[in-house]
Amino acid sequence: MHIPDGYLSPSTCATMYAGAAPFWYVALRRLKRTLDARMIPLLSLMSAFCFVVMMFNLPLPGGTTGHAVGVGIAAILLGPWASMVAISIALLVQAVFFGDGGITCYGANCFNMAIVGSLAAYGMYRAVAGRSALTAPRRIVAAALGGYVAINLSALCAAIEFGIQPALFHDAMGAPLYAPYRLGIAIPAMLAGHLTFAGIAELVISGGMVAYLQRADPGLLRRTAPGAIASGAKVEDFTGLRWLWIGLAALMLATPLGLLAAGSAWGEWRGADFRNPETRQEIARASLQAAPPREAPAGLQRLSAVWSAPMPDYAPRFLKSEALGYICSAVFGSGLLIMAWTLLGWGAGLLGQRRRAEAARPR
């Protein structure tokens, strides 16, 4: 679901940045009002969790791969606005350091996964959970449905962005300049895997984590359940985070499992793949048997070289072991996210102290 550089036209990329900007603005303003030392560990955890979860590739119908996003549980624990920021920062680290998602398409990827995903997950969760108690089984169902709907709406947005490219941007002969497949192919090709395997993975993650927190620390669910019926749940004390951090560490060590899924994600083919006979067959099989162009579209070739990530495909060049490289990438990326949120919290704390000092100063 990470759209690479070259698959969207420059004007589409600019439009998606413009579409994401108001949501980022509101999200940052809201986060600024609520950010405190107690929130930083949760924000760090959710950013790192989403980053790591997206490294677990799943085999999808047609020989492609996909992944969960973690947006469902992020929106439930953080609320939609903080979730947007947390996932956007995770996507930025993926794009800049690992080439997972393009720099030019960063706005589109954030719009699809961080913004649409967070709003969809939160809206579905609140609608289904209603005022039920924090420990009610209904909240598990609500979380599962929220994650499932969110990832599929995100995939649908990406499919539409892919699918409009051939109609809007082509050369004089009608050859597509960017993404090569129209809506009639892009939408079913993208949704086939997300309505099944990737969607079910997101469903299990969201529902499973809510079920765990209902036992370990239901207070963490109170942030997005303002009208919940009193159930005797203890006040949010973040004790459940300890085991979530341990679980995140275990996920990092297990990331090489994401290498087992053969093939690439739909719409994330390299330029050379269009010339490789074997890969061309895989692309056609995943695209309703529609043959791809014999050469990579001209615009795709040009924009795909915009940014060269230092550790492309989560494979540091100095490591010969692919599995070890994947683990190191997971640790490095998660460490960057934790450090970023720690520095942000430290800066917010200093700013708060300064404002309190100025307010207490006699006039």
pLDDT, tens only, 178-195: 999 999 999 999 999 999
Weakest mean pLDDT among 137-141, 217-221, 293-297, 356-360: 356-360
1 within some domain: no
Confidence of residue 246 (pLDDT cuts 50, 70, 90): very high
pTM above 0.85? yes
Tell me the average pLDDT across 306-330: 94
Alpha-helical (H) ranges within the chain are 10-34, 39-53, 71-78, 80-98, 106-109, 117-129, 137-163, 165-168, 183-193, 199-216, 241-254, 277-286, 298-303, 322-360
At 239 the pLDDT is 63
360 within some domain: no
In the predicted structure, residue 324 carries a pLDDT above the cut 70: yes
Q: How does the average pLDDT of the chain come out, rounded?
A: 92
178 within some domain: yes
Residue whose pair of structure tokens reads 């993208």 in the numeric block: 190
Tell me the average pLDDT across 148-175: 97
22 within some domain: yes
In the predicted structure, residue 127 carries a pLDDT above the cut 90: yes
At 234 the pLDDT is 55
* Residues 31, 298: Cα–Cα separation, whole Å: 41
Phi, psi of 170 (to 5 degrees): -150, 165
Confidence of residue 321 (pLDDT cuts 50, 70, 90): very high
Give me the number of domains the chain comprises.
1
Weakest mean pLDDT among 54-63, 93-102, 129-138: 54-63
CATH number for position 277:
1.10.1760.20
Tell me the average pLDDT across 246-261: 94
* Residues 64, 285: Cα–Cα separation, whole Å: 9
* Residues 322, 315: Cα–Cα separation, whole Å: 6
361 within some domain: no
20 within some domain: yes
Mind listing the pLDDT tens digit for each residue in 13-51? 999 999 999 999 999 999 988 887 778 999 999 999 999
Tell me the average pLDDT across 200-211: 97
Query: CA angle, 166 as apex, 59 and 111 as ends, to 5°?
Result: 60
Confidence of residue 227 (pLDDT cuts 50, 70, 90): confident
Range of the domain at 326: 10-354
Confidence of residue 346 (pLDDT cuts 50, 70, 90): confident
251 within some domain: yes
3-state class (DSSP) for residue 265? strand
Tell me the average pLDDT across 57-85: 94
**pLDDT over 70 for what percent of the chain?**
94
* Residues 107, 112: Cα–Cα separation, whole Å: 9
